[in-house]
A = this chain, B = another copy of it.
């Protein structure tokens, strides 16, 4: 019998006491060596390091952190909406790198936009005593985070502001980006510009729609309400909405997609209608293959890296100085002109 049937680890992980015994010193000396404290003779240090090596000792940083002065665990929690989404994964990657450079680790979770899942994740993170939280808020109320914040766990909101709570925040210039898109289309001669967006309860969706409305309002005719479709939660819904919008009379000559999920549904619809070459289209959020589409997809790209870096920066800044005033960073977006945004208005209206 190689196994004894119990769950116990075959070899217990060595502690500083094991190392001390092996090195023939007191365990406090080991601790001193590991923490680079002064007052260790270099010969002793060598012995200790040798023992560490032989035993394959690894500091138990969870035991360490319960005793440390500031109780810090050198880990942060990150709640995104869906890690499988390119925006979220890029964000996570950036934050992780930023954290790792400072020897911090990142716990990640996807809320799927469900408030209960967000709270569950935050709860688990806090119970593991993360030093800080970066949250893409899902629910309609983040006031529950005030308790954590008051206990010295800073919170940074990303992509959308938290509700009913003051905290550092990083958002994209949503409205401005969509306005730019409208103006770009207007320059190409478009006046009938449709807009497909997510539920208005989602902050970014509301912001983007308001950008659309503001830009359209500046035009002579103003907006045709029928061209605006919101509440689109997934690609199939966007597909359907696009079909309906382009069945209108008169049909729009251009289309703006409020996020990348919607873009996928909408472009499929245009494809189905045989309109991809005739309808101008601008999408919010860049996509990996956007420039290989025909026509190449014009997009309003978010600067995910600046967003991630900004969030991490705010968080680590606050870890050092709790008393600084809350900041809100608005990260510019960039209109990447490719082909689909330059398709001219093909009908008689404006020629």
Contact = CB atoms under 8 A, between A and B. Distances in A.
Contacts of A306: none
Q: Which 10 A-B pairs rank lowest in CB-CB distance, beginning with the nearest?
A: A9-B152, A89-B89, A3-B323, A289-B289, A84-B93, A83-B93, A56-B147, A61-B127, A62-B62, A63-B66
A253 interface: no
Interface residues of A, number: 70
Contacts of A123: 58
B108 A92 contact: yes
Contact of A103 (B90, B124, B147): B124
Interface in A33-57: 56
Nearest to A146: B56
Contacts of A125: 105
25 contacts: A3-B322, A5-B323, A9-B71, A9-B152, A58-B127, A60-B129, A61-B129, A73-B128, A75-B128, A84-B89, A86-B86, A86-B89, A92-B108, A93-B110, A96-B109, A97-B110, A100-B124, A105-B107, A106-B109, A108-B108, A267-B292, A271-B292, A287-B288, A289-B289, A294-B294
A127 B289 contact: no
A342 interface: no
Contacts of A271: 292
A70 B13 CA distance: 12
Contacts of A147: 56
Contacts of A126: 58
